[in-house]
Chain A
Amino acid sequence: MQAATTPGPEPVSEPAPADRLAAVARGVEVAPEIHDSLLAERPVLEVDRFNLWYGTKQALHRISMPIPHAKVTALVGPSGCGKSTLLRSVNRLNDLVQSVRITGDMRLNGDSIYDPRMDVIDLRKRMGMVFQKPNPFPMSIYENVIYSLRIDGERNRGMLDEVCEISLRAAALWDEVKDRLHDSALGLSGGQQQRLCIARAIAAEPEVLLLDEPCSALDPIATGKIEDLIRELRGRYSVLMVTHNMQQASRTSDYTAFMYLGRLIEYGPTTDIFTKPVLRETEAYVTGRFG
């Protein structure tokens, strides 16, 4: 990956075209519609004029958006709109991709994520990430949850037990596993494994929790439990979530960002996005008229 460069000056803003999506497809830069209420929130993460290319193909175009503290923010948009790329850029997972080049920056509680002096391992410890498919480690439930503390050298048994219980309770899994904490995590159901992964992420006290389509491999019952859990996390954790499921975004998030072809199109309170979005393009997407 090539190092970040300083973002360029703001482009001259053009009047909003009648059809923003067609304009975006032609490559015209269109300013996103960001609702005022977002500006009143304290951001945990700030995406600042962020561009990303895979080789010669630009996947993210000058994304600027605040991710509010202690709120759930959902990224939605048709396949290929860049929402997963944006999520993976937050914990610099795209560093692992050879041809990736970026400009602009992101800041986690004020610290530049793409500062060349930033230790990526330290950075990732400040975030938790949960993927589409549950990925428990082949060890006990207990060891899975306290894994981050173990690798940090924590040995105080009382402290480890406490973190394990608090994290499993926060992930709404404690009652189901408290009697078998030392059984293999691989024996849990898919939904339980995913909640275990969330518990493992929470145990590290992340500044932001990144969820990449966390329910796409789960059945409706397990999905319901994870959605309930995400709602429970509101107010305590800052969550940035990618989802293909509109109803999941509407049920679980405080804010929703609609992306299209690598651009942020509209970003505002979820209730507004799903009842009266400002842009008709957003309306067409959330009502399923395209994408």
Chain B
Amino acid sequence: MTRHIERQIESLKERILRVGTLVEEAISKAITALINRDVTLAQRVMANDEEIDRMEVEVEEECLKIFALYQPVAADLRFVVAVLKINNDLERMGDLAKNIAKRVAQLADHQQVELPPEIRLMAMQAQEMVKQCLDAVVHGDPLLARQVREEDDAVDEGRQRIHKRVMQGIRQDPENAETLLRINSVSKHIERIADMATNIAEDVLYMVEGEIVRHRAETT
């Protein structure tokens, strides 16, 4: 007979994966909307954020219920703590996707300003990190989690390059400064998404290995 707490943990896992799927989809659509300058798609992303927010609250309530009723220990405790944190990061990622979508609407009227070519690569890298960190959650895979941590540097470098390019653009073409700053802000949101994926990867490492690796270099 499966114990009640095991069923609760299983159900919590399903819920957090549903949030993960929605967030992954929101990010993917926001990026597609950005690249294709698709305002309708961007509006859909903004509207769907409410669903992510609602599910985040449900997952949190579920975690609190498990703490109160089952007092989990060891692997169960680490799992519920990790889910609580992952849940929070996923919700933030959903907000960042929404922020990117907002910028798409603002950029729509300024078609003459081209997106820097690096942004496409950076967005691809960040999306891959999101996918991998969610896979690491599903499979409790520490190797994949470590890989995600390592990939964050490439996204940070992309962000630096875009920032430089934007600053250069503003100097050359001050009239489009506002649009260029919006593009800069999009790249910052993408970078933050990658940071959140890194946080989730670190939560997976805690969940599987019991070690808090945050604020430590990726040496292991």
Contacts and interface: CB of A to CB of B under 8 A. Distances in A.
Interface of A: 246-247, 250, 273-277, 282-283, 286-289
Given A247-B71, A274-B73, A289-B6, 20 more contacts: A274-B74, A274-B77, A275-B74, A275-B77, A275-B78, A275-B210, A276-B74, A276-B78, A276-B211, A277-B74, A282-B74, A283-B74, A283-B75, A286-B73, A286-B74, A287-B5, A287-B72, A287-B73, A287-B76, A288-B3
Contacts of B72: 287
Interface residues of B, number: 14
Nearest to B73: A274
Nearest to B9: A287
Q: At the interface, is chain B mostly helix, strand, loop or mixed? A: helix
Interface string B64-76: 0000000111111
Interface string B58-90: 000000000000011111111000000000000
Contacts of B209: 276
Contacts of B5: 287-288
Contacts of B77: 274-275
Contacts of A282: 74
Given A275-B210, A276-B78, A276-B210, A250 B73 contact: yes
A116 B71 CA distance: 47
Contacts of A289: 3, 6
Contacts of B75: 283, 287
A275 B3 contact: no
Contacts of A286: 73-74
Contacts of B71: 247
A103 B213 CA distance: 46
Nearest to B2: A289
Contacts of A247: 71
Interface in B4-19: 5-6
A235 B178 CA distance: 65
A275 B5 CA distance: 16
A289 B72 CA distance: 12
22 contacts: A250-B73, A273-B74, A274-B73, A274-B77, A275-B73, A275-B77, A275-B210, A276-B74, A276-B209, A276-B210, A277-B74, A282-B74, A283-B74, A283-B75, A286-B74, A287-B5, A287-B72, A287-B73, A287-B75, A288-B5, A289-B3, A289-B6
A283 B71 CA distance: 14
A250 B71 CA distance: 11
Contacts of A274: 73-74, 77
A33 to B, nearest CB: 14
The 9 closest A-B pairs by CB, nearest first: A276-B210, A274-B73, A283-B74, A287-B76, A286-B74, A286-B73, A287-B74, A283-B75, A277-B74
A168 B78 CA distance: 40
Contacts of A287: 5, 72-76
Interface centre among B5, B74, B78, B209 (most CB of A within 10 A): B74
